[in-house]
Amino acid sequence: MQKNNIGAMSRRRFLAVSGAIAGTSIIDHQSKVYPAVFHISKTDQVKQKIALVGTGVRGVSTWGRNVVRDYSDYVDFVGLCDNNPGRLEFGKNFIGASCSTYSDFDKMMKETKPDSLIVTTVDDTHDYFIKRGMELGANIICEKPMAIDEKKIQTIIDAEKRTGKDCRVTFNYRYSPHRAKMWKILRSGEIGDLTSIDFHWYLDTSHGASYFRRWHRLVERGGSLWVHKASHHFDLLNWWIESDPESVYALGDLEFYGKNGPFRAENCRNCPHTKQCDFYWDIMKSSYNKRLYVDNEKYDGYLRDGCVFRNDVNIYDKMAATIKYMNGVQVSYSLTAYSPYEGYRIAFNGTKGRMDAWIQESNPTTDRRYDEIVIAKNFGKREYIQFPQSGGHGGGDKILKDQIFILNTPDPYKQAAGVRDGSFACLVGIAARESIKSKMPVMIKDLTTLIPQTQKEYKRV
């Protein structure tokens, strides 16, 4: 009974906040509470010294070559680090940076003294580089997921408090125009009081299957898709709902990949079953993949074209969770990793109506070239809002990087995320993992020192 009252009260608060935002300039509201470039001091823009650890595909492209190409007026790369010397050398040439390269992280930090450190290593190492990077004087720009378990998250929370440094988590999913539009509509009051969300994500047998080829297939490296992938989705929920998650109850299984396959090998290049296997993938067809991964296997033995049916796959490929939020909103979530097409369906249920979206990211079943949001009023008409599909997440990637590298870039939709947001996004997935083991709901407040709030807070931890 008391819980319901809290839920009802918090929903009224949600609307009050919505009304405030709808009725005033969103930019004014935002800039007062949460500067977008929150780790550049509010003095005149000076060129930031940047170091990067993890020269894999994400490090050398999104946070490497593209940054040199688009932000050289604002940043200088001063150091690159990776524990695979071949990939490090390739990365330096590919990025086009003239800085030094290091296999020793501490040495790089001490010699180059970067203002900011970009962390694009394998997920289970993020916490180490965030903590050590802060201790050695840098603010951090980290790829999702921020960390793969609650102890690692606590390490980051403590390091941020102790060092006074910041960690920006680069949740690029927040930046797609259609997702920002949903954020705005939720605050406009159009569907009334938000009460629940149905959210179902489908990974396909190409991109989705690739998680089962790579290090992501091991829970100890990526935290399972509950954390590696779904932290994107949980972050979207946390951001849209603007409240913190309270509890998670989850189910999951591995029924398609790994031990379930009809045959297996270590990797596709050494497989006797290539003719029968729908998942056969010839990495040698891409000279980029060959140079980034195959040529450097000799240093660490990492096989980028691993077999999706290897017996060591220990993550789930079908998952479902019920998530309760502090403001009473409840969410039905699922993730399926072997669908014929990739994308998601979402419905936001409110007291005055509903907002639906069906976004297809690969192999769409129609030749439609736009994404669509539908707003249906309980006793009114439907409204269809369409967005042309385009690369770079519809321009979102540029806004994310502008906010990170260019001083005073506005943040009208509160898309900038720090340690608090990075933590809650991972904690939902970590709680789901724990819930499957214990067969019980898991309370988010029991995992770290972070205290979930009814109204999401925009401040450091």
Q: Which residues bind ligand NAD (CB under 6 A)?
A: 53-59, 81-84, 87, 120-123, 125, 143-144, 172, 228
- Least distance in angstroms from the C-beta of 87 to ligand NAD: 4
Kindly report the number of other CB atoms within 10 A of residue 115's CB atom: 19
CB of 13 to ligand NAD, least distance (A): 31
Residue 84 or 334: which CB sits closer to ligand NAD? 84
Q: Which residue number places its CB atom closest to ligand NAD?
A: 56
* Between 91 and 245, CB nearer to ligand NAD: 91
Helix axes 177-188, 230-241, angle to 10 degrees: 30
Least Cβ distance, residue 88 to ligand NAD (angstroms): 8
Q: Could you identify the residue written with the tokens 């990075």?
A: 422
When the beta carbons of 100 and 455 are compared against ligand NAD, the nearer one is 100
How far is the C-alpha of 432 from the C-alpha of 222, rounded, in Å? 15
Give whichever of 156 and 191 is closer to ligand NAD, judged by the CB atom: 156
- As measured in angstroms, the least distance from the Cβ of 236 to ligand NAD is 12
| 67 and 401 Cβ atoms separated by less than 8 Å | yes
CB of 188 to ligand NAD, least distance (A): 28
Return phi, psi of residue 454, to 5°. -65, -45
What is the distance between the alpha carbons of residues 414 and 174, in angstroms, rounded to a whole number?
9
Distance separating alpha carbons of residues 321 and 240, to the nearest angstrom = 18
Nearer to ligand NAD by Cβ, of 175 and 256: the residue is 175
Question: CA nearest 113: which of 48, 42, 56?
Answer: 48
Q: Nearest approach, Cβ of 353 to ligand NAD (angstroms)?
A: 32
Cβ nearer to ligand NAD, comparing 59 with 245 = 59
- Smallest distance from ligand NAD to CB 283, Å: 13
Classify residue 441 by burial, with Cβ atoms within 10 Å: 0-12, 13-18, 19+. middle
How remote is the C-alpha of 380 from its chain's centroid?
36
Sheet holding 139-142, edge to edge: 100-102, 75-81, 48-53, 116-119, 139-142, 167-169
SS3 155: helix
The CA distances from residue 389 to 174, 324, 365, 421, in Å, are 16, 32, 15, 27
- Rounded least distance, CB 195 to ligand NAD, Å: 30
Tell me which amino acid residue 69 is: R
Given the complex with ligand NAD, which of 58 and 181 has the nearer CB atom? Answer: 58
Cβ proximity to ligand NAD, 132 vs 352, nearer residue: 132
Residue 93: which of 104, 101, 105 has the closest Cα?
101
Name 267's bridge partners: 306
